[in-house]
Amino acid sequence: MIVNSLWYIPQLAVADVTSLGHFNPLAIAFFFLFVASSLGITYWAAKLTKSTSHFYTAGGNISGFQNGLALAGDFMSAASFLGIAGLVALNGFDGLIYSIGFLVGWPIVMFLIAEPLRNLGKYTFADVVAYRLQQKPVRIAAAIGTLAVISFYLIAQMVGAGELIKLLFGFDYELAVVIVGGVMMAYVIFGGMIATTWVQIIKAVLLLGGTILLSILVLAKFGFNPLNLFAAAADKYSGVLAPGKQVSDPWDAISLGMSLMFGTAGLPHILMRFYTVPDAKAARISVTYATALIGFFYLLTFILGFGAMVLVGQDAIKQIGTGGNMAAPMLAEFLGGDAFLGFIAAVSFATILAVVAGLTLSGAAALSHDLWVNVVRGGHANESEQLKVARGATMLLGALAIILGILFKGQNVAYMVGLAFAIAASANFPALLLSMLWRRFTTYGAVASMLVGTFSALILIYFSPTIQVAILNHPNALFPLKNPGLVTIPLAFIVGIVVSLLSSETQAEEKFAEVENRIHIGSEN
Amino acid sequence: MDDRKKALQSIAAARWRVSLLLSGAMMVIYFGFILLIAFNKPLLGSLILPGLSLGILLGALVIVSAWVLIFLYVRWANNKYDNRINNLTRE
C-alpha cells in the first residue's frame, strides 16, 4: 500500500516540451561521438573489404553471438523503438499488437528459413529460390520484390531520422533526411557488411542499454511495479488497456497479424545476415540470441509506451508530431533532462543509421549480385566490376531513401513498417518456402508468386484507406483493409502452387535431391 | 549410396515435421491472440488485477511462448538433428 501511494506524485507533473526543437549541446555531443566512432569503424572495415564476399557478407566470419546481436540491431529499427513507443503512448494496447507481431516472426524464421538458407545461398535469398530454377527470370522477380520491400522500409526509417534530427538540432526536416542518407552511404560504400555489422552490434548494445535505463527510470516512479504504471495509464486515459479503435475492423487485425508474422521471414536485410556466419549451426545460435534480445526489448516497450503516456501525456506528444514518433525521446527528456535526451536521441539516430545501412546493403546486393552479375552478365563479372556496381547501387538507393523520406513526412513509422512487412510476406516468403520444401515448384511458379505477391500488395496498399483516406483525403477507399496481408499472402502461395502444377520442369525436379542434400549437409559435402 | 539417400530423406522428413509442427504451434498461439483481439475486445479488456488486463498478460505470454518454442527447437536440433547429420557425413 505504501508503494501504491508513491506513484501519484509524478502524475501531477506536466512534461516541459519547450526545450525540444532547440539547440541542445549535450545531445549534439553524443550524436557526434557516435557518428565519429562509427565512421572510424568504417575506415577500419574499408581496409578489410577487398572482395564481394567481404562487401556482402563480411567474409562469412561473424560468430553466432555477434550475428545474433547484429540481427537484433538490424531488426530493432526506428519503427520498434520510436514508432511502437509512440503507438503505445497514443493508443495504449493497440500499439502492443505491433510489438508482439514483430517478435512472433522470429520462431518462423528459425524453424523454416534460417538454417536451409545458410546452407543453400551465398549473398541474397534469390540464390536459394533460383538454386534449381532458371536464374534470370527468378532473379529479376526477386529483385523487384526486394526493392519494393526496401523502399517502404526505408521510408519509415528516414521519416524517423528526419523528425529526430529536427527535434535535436532544430533545423529543417529535409536537411536532416539528407544528412542521414549521406552518413549511411559512407558506411555502406566504404565499409560494406563488416562496418554495417559492427555499427549494428554497437547500436544493439546501446539501444538495449538505453531502453533498460529508461524503463528503470519510469518504473522508479511507480514503485518498480509495472502494474502501478498500467493502472495509472488507465486512470488518466480510459480504455487504453484493451484493444481499441486502431483495430476497429476484426479482419484488419488478422491481416496485420499475418503480415507481421510472415514478413520477418521475407525481409531481405534480415535474410542476408544469415550469410555472414560460417555454418547452419551458427545461424541457429544467431536466431536464438536475436529472439531473446528482441523479445526482451519488446517487453520493455510496454513500459516505455505507457510511461510516455502517463508522464509526458498524449497532448504533449501530439504537439511535437502527430505520428507520436517522438514519445520515447520526450520521455527521456522528462526523466533525465538534456543529457539523457541527448543519449536517447543519439541511440535512436544510431538505430536508424544502422538499419538504413543494412537495408541499403541488401538492396545493393539485389541490384548488383542478382540483376547485374547474374542477369546482365550471365554470371560472369570480375570482382572489381562487381564491387563498383554494388557501390553505385548503394548511391542510387541512398538517393532514393532521401527522396522517399521527404515525400512521406509525418507518417507513423511503425505503421509504415507494417506495410513493408506485408510486401515482404507476400513477395518473398511464399516463394522462398516453396522452393525449399516442394519438389514440383517451377520457374514459372516462382516468378508468378513473387510478382503477384509484390504487385497485389502494392496495388491493395494504394487502394487502401491508408493512401486513399489518410493521404489523398478521399471519403472512402476501394479496398477496405489497412494492411493487405490477409489477401496477398494466401494469393502468392496459391498462384505459386497453381502455376507450378500447370507447368512442368524436369530439371528442377531432378535437382531437388541436390537441394535436399545441401539444406541438411551444407556446401562442403 | 542408396542407403545414404534414404537416410537423408528420413532426416529431411523429420526436420520438416518438427519445423512445421513448431511453426504451427506459434501460429495457433499468435493467431489465437489476434482472433481474440479481433472478435472479443471486451474479454481482453477485463482486468485480472488492478492495472493488468487479460490482453496485456496474454500479449506478454505470446512473447514468452516464442522463447519456449525456440528453446524446444534448439534442444531438438542440438541433440537429435546434428547427431544424425554427423553420423551421415562421417560415413
pLDDT confidence of residue A351: 83
Residue A307: count other Cβ atoms within 10 Å of its Cβ: 31
Distance CA A429, CA A427 (A): 6
Contact B38 A517 (CB under 8 A): no
Nearest residue to A291 via CA among B83, B24, B73, B55: B73
pLDDT confidence of residue A523: 66
Task: Give me the percent of chain A exceeding a pLDDT of 90.
Answer: 49
Pull the grid cell for residue A253.
487485425
CB A97 within 8 A of CB A256: yes
pLDDT band for position A313 (50/70/90)? very high
pLDDT band for position A23 (50/70/90)? low
- Could you tell me how many CB contacts below 8 A there are between chain A and chain B? 141
pLDDT band for position A35 (50/70/90)? confident
- Which helix (H) or strand (E) segment holds residue A233: the answer is helix A226-236
- Is some CB atom of chain A closer than 8 A to the CB atom of B31? yes
Q: How many Å from the N-terminal Cα to the C-terminal Cα in chain A? A: 66
- Which helix (H) or strand (E) segment holds residue A204: the answer is helix A192-220
Q: What residue type is A389 in one-letter code? A: V
pLDDT per residue as tens digits for the range A172-202: 888 888 888 888 888 888 888 998 899 899 9
- Comparing CB atoms, the residue among A242, A254, A513 nearest residue B53 is A242
Distance CA A277, CA A71 (A): 11
- Chain A: nearest CA to B3, how far in angstroms? 14
Residues 6+ apart with CB under 8 A from A1: none
- Comparing CB atoms, the residue among B30, B45, B89 nearest residue A104 is B30
Angle between helices A93-108 and B2-39 (to 10 degrees): 170
- Is some CB atom of chain A closer than 8 A to the CB atom of B76? no
pLDDT confidence of residue A247: 67
- Comparing CB atoms, the residue among B23, B38, B47 nearest residue A254 is B38
Residues 6+ apart with CB under 8 A from B87: none
Average pLDDT over residues A31-58: 86
Q: Name the residue with cell 563480411.
A: A58
Pull the grid cell for residue B45.
479488456
pLDDT confidence of residue A440: 94
Nearest residue to B57 via CA among A27, A96, A113: A96
Pull the grid cell for residue A206.
546501446
pLDDT band for position A6 (50/70/90)? very low
Pull the grid cell for residue A361.
546493403
CB A274 within 8 A of CB A117: yes
Nearest residue to A398 via CA among A363, A369, A367, A365: A363
Nearest residue to A267 via CA among A134, A114, A484, A452: A114
Average pLDDT over residues B42-48: 88
CB A148 within 8 A of CB A425: no
Name the DSSP class of A276. G
pLDDT band for position A158 (50/70/90)? confident
Q: Name the residue with cell 477496405.
A: A480
Distance CA A133, CA B80 (A): 32
Average pLDDT over residues A431-453: 95
Distance CA B43, CA A388 (A): 58
pLDDT confidence of residue A41: 86
Over 60: is that where the pLDDT of A140 sits?
yes
pLDDT confidence of residue A9: 34
**Range with lowest mean pLDDT among A47-51, A437-441, A451-455, A511-515:** A47-51
Residue B6: count other Cβ atoms within 10 Å of its Cβ: 10
pLDDT band for position A19 (50/70/90)? low
pLDDT confidence of residue B1: 57
Which residues in chain B are contacts of A101 at CB distance < 8 A? 30
Q: Give the global pTM.
A: 0.90
Average pLDDT over residues A44-61: 88
Over 80: is that where the pLDDT of A8 sits?
no
Pairing mode, strands B47-49 and B52-53: antiparallel
CB A70 within 8 A of CB A201: yes
Give the CA diameter of chain B: 66
Distance CA A493, CA A502 (A): 14
CA-CA-CA-CA dihedral for A120, A126, A131, A136, to nearest 10: -160
pLDDT per residue as tens digits for the range A395-432: 999 999 899 888 888 777 777 788 899 999 999 999 99
pLDDT confidence of residue A78: 74
CB A69 within 8 A of CB A284: no
Contact A242 B55 (CB under 8 A): yes
- Chain A: nearest CA to B67, how far in angstroms? 7
- Comparing CB atoms, the residue among B35, B66, B82 nearest residue A103 is B66
The 3-state DSSP class for residue B47 equals: strand
Residues 6+ apart with CB under 8 A from A232: A7, A11, A222, A310, B51
Which residues in chain A are contacts of B15 at CB distance < 8 A? 520
- Chain B: nearest CA to A66, how far in angstroms? 18
Name the DSSP class of A265. G
Contact B56 A104 (CB under 8 A): no
What are φ and ψ of residue B49, in 5° steps?
-130, 165
CB A321 within 8 A of CB A188: no
Which residues in chain B are contacts of A108 at CB distance < 8 A? 23, 26
Distance CA A483, CA A252 (A): 7
Pull the grid cell for residue A198.
559492427
Which residues in chain B are contacts of A299 at CB distance < 8 A? 60, 63
**Range with lowest mean pLDDT among A271-280, A411-420, B76-85:** A411-420
Q: Name the residue with cell 518473398.
A: A428
- Is some CB atom of chain A closer than 8 A to the CB atom of B38? yes
The count of C-alpha atoms lying within 13 angstroms of the C-alpha of B46, restricted to the half-sphere facing its C-beta, is 5
**ipTM of the assembly?**
0.94
In Å, what is the CA distance from B3 to each residue of A333, A359, A439, A510, A516? 66, 44, 20, 18, 15
